[in-house]
Chains A and B, each alone.
Chain A
Amino acid sequence: MAVKVIVEKCKGCSICVNSCPFSAIEMENKIAVIGDACTGCGVCVDECPFDAIEKIEEAVKKDLSAYKGVWVFAEQREGKLMPVVIELLGEAKKLATEIGTDVSAVLCGDKVDDLTQELFAYGADKVYFADHPELKNYRTDAYTKVIQEAINQYKPEIILLGATHIGRDLGPCLAVRCDTGLTADCTKLEIDPEDKKIRQTRPAFGGNLMATIICPNHRPQMSTVRPGVMDKAEYVAGREGVAIRLDVSFGDDEIRTKIIKIVKQAGELASLTDAEFIVSGGMGLGNQEGFELLKKLADKLGGTIGSSRACVDSGWIDHSYQVGQTGTTVKPKIYFACGISGAIQHLAGMQSSDYIIAINKNENAPIFEVADYGIVGDLYEVIPAILEAL
């Protein structure tokens, strides 16, 4: 949806200017002019007392073919790329090859020039980078502004963001600002061989249903992608690309939040998504001390422990250990599910593990339906026996 001023009807009353949530309308020679910040929300159309603003069809406003290339949001924290960025670059390359276009990364930060080399090595053909002290740490207003301007200028057809606490904040804001759709937490992306548009598949209803979403008439097509789902891009040392610096300037009060301090607490998340071995516990543990036994097995394998949602809700273990739909998605070499019944929300987060081993007293537990190897028994007997056999 887009809007247009009917010049003959405009009386220059400025009601639309004041009603626009995006400050996208200005008066020029007593006639309203719609600027680039317009999202097509239609507030002005309904507010105008003279019916002087009308909606025009999307195709007229946006030439979809002008949008080219696949972009990846190169999320950095403390000057380091998030692991999901490497996964997104791997996926972006696949998509770009099928469309016949190139891969770009968009990077925001303070003194992050050296990350551009790393992004080239992981397959970015271009890196659009914004370097500014105000961009050191993620803030919604600052990053949204810079990246929205880059999108308007360079017009990518697809943008992928990691579904991190940052990507899931930035993505929705960008989508509204750029007047387009966003599909959250995708687990699979494909290109339609006919029209080269993206098909985005994601879990819904707590993982009970998968939905494939399209965004046919708006650009860019945007997805956030769950960390740990896509295959990592290959690192090619010395690979070169083009770095394009983005102009950055902020007005007073344009960034409306202030970070007072950043507090680190758990710090286990990275090891959960990267772990090759995960020994996960559910309510079958009976108590929080049960995780100590799981840790023994995890330590022996060089892995980490995980948890079902129920244990987190019971306060036995921190949320950062939670595997599943509302926790972390994992795909280790081996996933031990100990005393986990296998609710669909949990399965959604671990089903793509290479091998799943289920240990449960209840032989009818749904977890056995997805297990490569199932053992019916008391985990407090079975795990010590496994430790001994190792």
Chain B
Amino acid sequence: MRNPDLDLPLETTAFGRFLLWLTAGLVFLCVLAFAVAAIADAQLTALRQEPRIVTVALPPNPEPAAARREVDDVLAHVRALPGVAYASLIDEAAFGELVDELLVDDAADRATGGLFGARMPLPRLIDIAFNPGAAIDLPALDEDISTLVPGATLGDSGQIERSRERLAVLFRGVAGSFGLLLLAVIVVVVVWLTRAGLEAHRQTIDLLRQMGAGDRYLARQFEQHALAKALRGALLGFALAISVVIVVVYVPTLLGEAPLAAHELAPVHWVLLAMVPVVAALLATLVARLTAHHGLARLR
């Protein structure tokens, strides 16, 4: 027999009419923002798990025995350093072919030997891979190697990775902040709608008070309504946003194309995204309750 309507006809005011759709829209944007932050976080984690590569370039040495000794000395030195995963000489023939491909335009010239075939002196390259997170003193390494082999130089390809890391941190921060801002907007919207609801139903509130309804009873009306509306709106917004995330992250991969987002999200990211609608709905409910309580205390 219990009518599903609440004692306060909140459905007829802005509180009832707009709360669902505003929550849906805000949660949609919020989930997208947090998804971008999650993708950036996944990217950052992947970058930080990659070994950092430093390349040593030894100047050409026409004396093969001396040249081999220089390489061995450098390899022995760097392999003894803490945090070095591996160090190896780049195959000279493969390096020569690579240089030919980059610098010799004519295919016929490449066929006759190219620069490498013409015995153009090329530096010898040694890749040094450091474990993720290893502390690296590059100036000291540069100095050691220069001492071992005068004229040797150190190239740090990690500069690019560090730029990507900084970019990922920036994206994560901005997107996460935007997500939090949207949650704050939900708070503001619920406060505004609740106040409007209190004002619109003042006569009914007076009547219910006359029958003995206390502030707790009346605030619960707003709270229940907010929970029902905000939860439905939040789930709707979440479903739409997750559809977008799945399309961006997974569908291109399934179709054999380059994914728009380079890294798949970890389970913890999905859990955090799934919590957004729950948090939004609970936040809306709590704010509606507190605002109603505060407003009722001011309504004599």
A and B part of one assembly: no
Q: Which A residues fall within an 8 A CB radius of B?
A: none
Q: Which B residues fall within an 8 A CB radius of A?
A: none
